[in-house]
Structure 1
Amino acid sequence: MAGPLIRSVILSGAAEKIRQYGRKPGAIARKTGIPMDALSDPDLLVSGRAVMAFFELVATACRRRTFGLEMSVGAHLGAVIGPLWLLLRNALTVEQMCIDLAKHFDLYSSAAVMTYRPTKSGGFLHWSAAIGSGESEVQMSEFAVATILGEIRMHGPPGWTPPGVHFRHEAPADLQLHRRIFGPHLHFNSEHNAIELDTAILRRPHSAAEPHVRSLVQKVLRDDEGSSAAPIELQVEGLIRALLPYGSCSADDVSQALGISTRTLQLHLNQAGQSFRSIKDSVRADLAQKYLKHSGLNATQVAARLGYGDPTSLSRSFRRWHGTSVRSKQRALKANAKILPRPAQR
């Protein structure tokens, strides 16, 4: 199911939790554009952006910082991503499953992007809200990473925990549930939202994998969508988000990662009505706002993460993107953080 819509199964159980927290689920749903029926019917199509806003509003209105994690408990990746899970189920190894999930995630939704980046000691599976999918991704990033990690754990040895789980946002005051779900190796204010995977887990075979079924599912999924790969702009966005903190992240770097020439990359982007510079600029604008709002990084640190030589350069870009200075934005965010609604009394 390509595009910005996702199945409402992702909202299963939300209404009951909200009532337990002393709030009315219908009121929160209406504020975020979620149809009330979507809270009880798992097969409706709803906006991925609205779902992200819904998760954030519930967490704020109900004062449940761990709402996304609570929603992930008992959630099954197959139920969330639908037919795409059939492809993952028939991957030969855990690494192939990660590659398939990242490569074909657009078949589930374009509201988020995923990238798999191999390293010498294993690999990183990145998740991020896509450009324009919402100002905040704290709750959804924790839900998504927890749900994906649950699927990976099913193929690992008993007691396996990842060598690292990373989030761009700041750590909550209470990490008890985070440690129970993710393990002890948590990193906040990080360069990305990602699961760090070691070579041993990546090489683990899928006991139920059937290569011929995988090939058939892959063909059917892409034939139904009328394309053979994710849109080039989504591939580029995902790679920029993964590579940006580690260097210049130039068009040459991204084209090399895609296995094509820089000229071919530019031609494909032109055909899609995009340019490398505009996508990179949009990613920087999106990440700058999220870092300032949800991480504990200062302007100098944010500038470095986004590939700027100094905070002055970031400030000029930030004013162009958002019509205000970095300092003014920080003051406004601190003022808003002090205004938290109280849950209604039951």
Structure 2
Amino acid sequence: MDISNRMALEVPLISARYARRFIEFMERRGVKRSALLNDTNITDAMLDDPDASISMQEITSVLKKADWLMNDERAAFQFGQQLDLPSHGLLGFAVLGQNNPRQLISMIVQYLRVGLPLMDMELNSTGPTFNIRLLDTWGLGELNPCITKMYMGSIHRVSAEVCGHFDIRFAFSARRDANSWQSLATDCEFHFDAPCNQITMTLKGQPSQKDNVGLQFLLARTRKLAGQQNGQADETLMQVREMIMSQPGRPCTTGNIARRLDISTRTLRQHLASAGTSFRELRNEIRENFATLYLRDTNVPLESIAEKLGFSDQASFTKAYRSWTGKTPGDARKQSQKSH
């Protein structure tokens, strides 16, 4: 491993709340905290600090110890299932602020890339069907199955509000049979020894009636808006949103998006106007949402946030964020830290 990779492993990237929840999960299974934290720099004070972050190196050290202590190969998936919307911090609030249930899937992928960057994800959609492929960018080796199961469990949990059937494929073997795995989630089909790790899911025809009042409100509002808007314009709006959200750091212009949709820029503008917005408003809304997410729930430097969101430099990002919110990015981050 070269020096840059070793340095990356030592950077505090992952919120301590995930480590705390995992350790509590293992404690309920009879594994002592000291056995997991031994030979690491993770302290109880860090685990109890909502603003603390832990490095990839420390997280993988804990997971390696836990992996061989788990007496059930399904345990990592079960832990992932416990990571519902509130467990991901601001993810729940960010998701509930979106205007369409389709955006839930895109927001999950984008947030996990930032808040829990143990793996990267590749999102594709065809109509109401979404496919998320997990990508091992860290070279996790023997830990790949464990972390993959955690991600799959959490993606299933937070997506189940708006998606129905799930097809989960693991690129490794299992000792237990498919029925044993399916007992964890009756709406899932599990497959092993697949070419890659991926989950495929389909939006429900009718939203789930769970006790999540905020999400019910979101879905009800979305249905009302959808009924008021032109169908073609609404579909274009959703497609443009997904394109911007899936690659927020790349140059994104009206002409670029129009070419990808195989329509003229004039038609694109007309569709967005019929949906009550414009390309500029849409892009700025998405940029603001992601910027606020980065600032409040991560320690990512301002310069890196600016780059991820497609700004030429930090000064341009600061100017834009001030125009959106009335605050500088630095002020927003400080205010968030004080409120915790």
Normalised-by-shorter TM-score class: 0.5 to 0.7
2:74 matches 1:66: yes
User: Partner amino acid for 2:197?
Assistant: N
User: Partner amino acid for 1:220?
Assistant: T
Q: Residue deviations 1:222-274, cap 9 Å, x none?
A: 67744356489xxxxxxxxxxxxxxxxxxxxxxxxxxxxxxxxxxxxxxxxxx
Partner of 2:104 in structure 1? 97
C-alpha separation in 1, matches of 2:101 and 2:21:
29
Partner of 1:239 in structure 2? none
2:211 matches 1:208: no
2:244 matches 1:172: no
Query: What displacement does 1:124 show?
Result: 0.3
Partner of 2:129 in structure 1? 122
C-alpha separation in 1, matches of 2:48 and 2:107:
30
Number of residues of Structure 1 aligned to a counterpart in Structure 2: 225
Q: Does the Cα contact within 8 Å between 2:81 and 2:156 map onto a contact in 1? A: no
Q: Residue deviations 1:318-345, cap 9 Å, x none?
A: xxxxxxxxxxxxxxxxxxxxxxxxxxxx
Of 221, 225, 238, which aligns to 2:293? Answer: 221
Percent identity of equivalent pairs: 14
C-alpha separation in 1, matches of 2:111 and 2:290:
9
Partner of 2:84 in structure 1? 76
State the Cα RMSD in Å: 3.9
Q: Does the Cα contact within 8 Å between 1:125 and 1:196 map onto a contact in 2? A: yes
TM-score between the two structures when normalised by the length of structure 2: 0.53
C-alpha separation in 2, matches of 1:139 and 1:121:
29
Larger RCO of the pair (alpha carbons < 8 Å, separation 6+): 1
User: Partner amino acid for 2:170?
Assistant: F
Query: What displacement does 1:14 show?
Result: 4.1
Query: What displacement does 1:116 show?
Result: 0.8
Instruction: Give the gaps of 5 or more residues in structure 2.
Output: 1-10, 209-214, 223-281, 297-301, 311-340
Q: Residue deviations 1:198-231, cap 9 Å, x none?
A: 2546999974278999655334336774435648
Q: Residue deviations 1:56-113, cap 9 Å, x none?
A: 4213134332331332343323322x33443322233333222233345443144321
C-alpha separation in 2, matches of 1:87 and 1:174:
37
Q: Does the Cα contact within 8 Å between 1:165 and 1:186 map onto a contact in 2? A: yes
Of 186, 189, 207, which aligns to 1:185? Answer: 189
Of 152, 162, 172, which aligns to 2:159? Answer: 152
Of 196, 202, 217, which aligns to 2:200? Answer: 196
Partner of 2:322 in structure 1? none
Of 160, 165, 169, which aligns to 1:161? Answer: 165
Instruction: Give the gaps of 5 or more residues in structure 1.
Output: 233-346
Distance 1:181 1:33, change over 3 A: farther
Post-superposition, which runs of at least 4 consecutive aligned residues in structure 1 deviate over 6 A? 201-206, 209-214
Secondary structure at the counterpart of residue 208 of structure 1: helix
Distance 1:231 1:134, change over 3 A: farther
C-alpha separation in 1, matches of 2:54 and 2:206:
33
Query: What displacement does 1:182 show?
Result: 3.6
C-alpha separation in 2, matches of 1:32 and 1:174:
36
C-alpha separation in 1, matches of 2:118 and 2:33:
23
Q: Does the Cα contact within 8 Å between 1:118 and 1:124 map onto a contact in 2? A: yes
User: Partner amino acid for 2:86?
Assistant: G
Query: What displacement does 1:196 show?
Result: 0.3
Q: Does the Cα contact within 8 Å between 2:162 and 2:203 map onto a contact in 1? A: no
Secondary structure at the counterpart of residue 102 of structure 1: helix
